Chains A and B, each alone.
Chain A
Amino acid sequence: GAGVSQSPSNKVTEKGKDVELRCDPISGHTALYWYRQSLGQGLEFLIYFQGNSAPDKSGLPSDRFSAERTGGSVSTLTIQRTQQEDSAVYLCASSLLGDSRSPLHFGNGTRLTVT
């Protein structure tokens, strides 16, 4: 079956513009995560969804960042008024149940460049 799909794979935007990043998790996976990976740094947690609810959004770096998930499936991460420090690879992952037995499955990410 299909894995986690993210689009676009690359996005170049001007500072101050809004961007939307999309994630299609594996079908049937209830848990969905967004992470950010900056050059030379580890993965930074952004937000976690269980179904359509986001019980943990503690990693969102500012109120310019928001995310939603609809139908227990597709998720969109929106960054408003982008800044150069937002440049990074944004990774989405899903897992079947979000419990201790369910491994994370990642998409290939969206590389965001803010000029």
Chain B
Amino acid sequence: KQEVTQIPAALSVPEGENLVLNCSFTDSAIYNLQWFRQDPGKGLTSLLLIQSSQREQTSGRLNASLDKSSGRSTLYIAASQPGDSATYLCAVKKGTGNQFYFGTGTSLTVIP
């Protein structure tokens, strides 16, 4: 079974800092990896999706990388803002149409 781990569980940084969130997975046979943010009481918002053939994806201040061979992905957030405060989750998809396996998330607090 695919295991997805996110470390640290919580992170607090001052506004303006660049930061990296980590996601590791045990089975490298994945179709894609997706990063989400979840605000309190809300569902998950898709941030970036990296297909297995890709190494990275960028959207605005966000950059996600994927290293399948080592079972790792990172989400880089540049120039963090208080509005970035949320829980960030990664999920890997194994096989066509099969379930996504989620990490337990990193709770990010950006201090003004």
Chain B contact residues, majority secondary structure: strand
A21 to chain B, nearest CB (A): 13
Report chain B residues within 8 Å CB of A106. 36, 43-46
Q: A100 and B97: CB pair below 8 A? A: no
Question: What number of residue pairs across chains A and B have CB atoms under 8 A from each other?
Answer: 68
CA distance in complex: A100, B92 (Å): 10
Contact B93 A48 (CB under 8 A): no
Which residue of B93, B102, B104 contacts A100 across the interface (Cβ within 8 Å)? B93
Q: Are B104 and A98 in contact (CB under 8 A)?
A: no
Per-residue B-contact encoding for A1-26, CB less than 8 Å = 1, 0 else? 00010100000000000000000000
Cβ contact within 8 Å between A50 and B97 = yes
A101 to B31, CA, bound (A): 9
Using known A-B contacts A100-B31, A101-B51, A103-B49, determine if residue A48 contacts B98 with beta carbons closer than 8 Å.
yes
**Which A residue sits closest to B44, measured CB to CB?**
A106
A85 interfacial by beta-carbon distance below 8 Å:
no
Is A98 touching B96 in the complex (CB atoms < 8 A)?
yes
Inter-chain contact A100/B51, CB cutoff 8 Å: yes
Bound form: Cα–Cα A105–B99 in Å = 14
* A56 close to chain B: CB less than 8 A: yes
Is B104 a contact of A42 with CB atoms below 8 Å? yes
Interface size class, chain A:
20 to 34
User: Nearest Cβ distance between residue A112 and chain B, in whole angstroms?
Assistant: 14
Q: Mark B99-110, 1 if CB is under 8 A from A, else 0.
A: 111111100000
Apart from the given pairs A35-B102, A42-B103, A99-B31, 20 other A-B contacts in the complex at a CB distance below 8 Å = A4-B43, A42-B104, A43-B89, A43-B91, A43-B100, A43-B102, A45-B99, A48-B97, A56-B98, A59-B99, A98-B96, A99-B96, A100-B32, A100-B96, A104-B34, A104-B46, A104-B100, A106-B36, A106-B44, A107-B43
